[in-house]
A = this chain, B = another copy of it.
């Protein structure tokens, strides 16, 4: 197919596709002449992936480029792909050069990892991210929120197990890579959405509205313990 068909198939405008080509988010088509090229199904898939990463995953173009490069490499060890995907979705801390001393948050996270038997490389981006949030809680005088750490960790274990099970269910290495990338980047958004729903549902359970009929959404109010 040619560019205009790629455009109509994927919904991305022709200038946007050119932009993706320039930014190396999209591999070039097969040239049929100095100014003509053919695109195929792989380009359609790539454009869909890129748009999912950018729009749903909220990645920047630069991060998305790293992710598609990892997908293209194809033969990276699985842990490397995880690393790339994880780093792509993790907003970088603003580089404090003067204080690499461990904070209280670092200590809490290390303690949690030890308690749960989580063995990870010290450059795992989640370590710094979690520690940073805990430090921010403390800076805002919300140490009370440190109490969520344990249940959050339990939930993270559940989610990670599901993630890895999905990866293991993939038929081949290429598919595994795809599952890792898509699942890691979009999984954050999926979980965030479910958390919003569960929060509201739980909020109604704990603090019922006085008289108005609350949520006509679903079934009868269950009383599962929490």
Contact = CB atoms under 8 A, between A and B. Distances in A.
Chain A interface mostly helix, strand, loop or mixed? helix
A133 B56 contact: yes
B215 A183 contact: no
A204 to B, nearest CB: 6
A84 to B, nearest CB: 12
Contacts of A58: 91
A101 interface: no
Contacts of A130: 190, 193-194, 197
A151 interface: yes
Contact of A182 (B83, B119, B126, B142): B142
Contacts of A165: 147-148, 226
A221 B156 contact: no
Contact of A121 (B117, B131, B179, B200): B200
A189 interface: yes
A202 interface: yes
Interface stretch (A19-27, A44-52, A61-69): A44-52
A188 to B, nearest CB: 5
A206 B168 contact: yes
Given A56-B133, A113-B217, A161 B151 contact: yes
Contact of A201 (B118, B149, B221): B118
Interface of A: 45, 48-49, 52, 55-56, 58, 78-79, 82-83, 86, 89-91, 94, 109-110, 112-114, 116-122, 124-134, 136-137, 139-142, 144-145, 147-166, 168-170, 178-179, 182-184, 186-204, 206-207, 209, 214-222, 224, 226
15 contacts: A52-B136, A79-B207, A113-B217, A117-B201, A119-B221, A120-B204, A126-B192, A127-B193, A133-B193, A134-B190, A145-B179, A145-B186, A145-B187, A154-B155, A188-B188
Shortest Cβ-Cβ A-B pairs, 10 listed: A126-B196, A130-B193, A117-B222, A129-B193, A160-B198, A155-B155, A119-B215, A151-B162, A156-B194, A118-B201
